[in-house]
Amino acid sequence: MTQAERRDRSERELLAAAIRVVAGQGVSAATFDAIGREAGFSRGLVTQRFGSKDGLIRALITHLHEWQADGLDDAQVAEMDGLTALCAFAELHCETIRSSVETDTYFMLLAAAVADRLETREAFRESHEIERVLIRGFIERGQASGDIRKDVDADAEALLAGCSLLGMRMQALVDPGFDAAPVRDALVASFKARLGLSPGEGKKKQ
């Protein structure tokens, strides 16, 4: 194994350890000492890899975006028309609400950053911009192919969709009994009703 491969492996193990610590013990427990112990490495290695808590959080956000991209690739979302891709994105997001420590960790860190007015809020703002652009891409794809109405404000609808999914995730964190399924179904139905073509309307009539 090359030095670069060893470095990449140790970083992935440290990020996985950070996710386990945050998801299992809370944000305040995620010290470099705790992460190092969880991963079986020294605190010094955590510091060397990430430099600061801000560096760690940014690395975690990048890791989680890559994890999400892998999920979208597995579902072949890139092969779908725009409206179907948007609905699939929402459904995949909702599927992880009770099954993913990765996304739990992201939103726990987000909540802490907002509550404590941490500098890492900027990292989350940038992350949410990435998501907005991703969702807007689905909508614009649908507009280009004629599956979504041309008069739809793609940017505003992308932000609305992202905020809806964000709200569902935060609700799940504060309410262990939250059932995402009916809300997911209502959200997907609203996408189809508001963005899709009217019954009998063809692509040439947009």
pLDDT in tens, 36-93: 999 999 999 999 999 988 898 899 999 888 989 999 999 999 999 999 999 999 999 9
**Residue 130 structure tokens:** 């990435």
pLDDT on residue 15:
93
Nearest in space to 88 (alpha carbons), one of 103, 74, 108, 107: 74
Are 83 and 142 in contact by the 8 Å Cβ rule? The answer is: yes
For residue range 108-119, what is the model confidence (pLDDT) as tens digits?
Answer: 888 888 887 777
Ramachandran quadrant class, 201 (left: phi over 0; alpha: psi -120 to 50; beta: rest): beta
Confidence bin at 3 (pLDDT 50/70/90): confident
Q: Give SS3 for 2.
A: coil
Q: What whole-number percentage of the chain has pLDDT above 70?
A: 96
Instruction: Please name each of the domains of the chain with its CATH number.
Output: 1-51 (1.10.10), 54-198 (1.10.357.10)
pLDDT on residue 160:
96
pLDDT on residue 205:
42
Q: What is the pTM of this model?
A: 0.85
CA 21-27-33 angle, 5° bins: 55
Most confident listed range (93-102, 105-114, 145-154): 145-154
Look up tokens 């609305």; give the residue: 160
Give the bridge partners for 196, in sequence order.
148
pLDDT on residue 206:
41
Q: How many residues does the chain have?
A: 206
Give the DSSP letter of residue 148. B
pLDDT on residue 120:
81
Confidence bin at 144 (pLDDT 50/70/90): very high
**Residue 6 structure tokens:** 């060893």
pLDDT on residue 79:
95
> What residues contact residue 107 under an 8 Å CB cut-off, 6+ apart?
166, 169, 170, 173
pLDDT on residue 171:
93
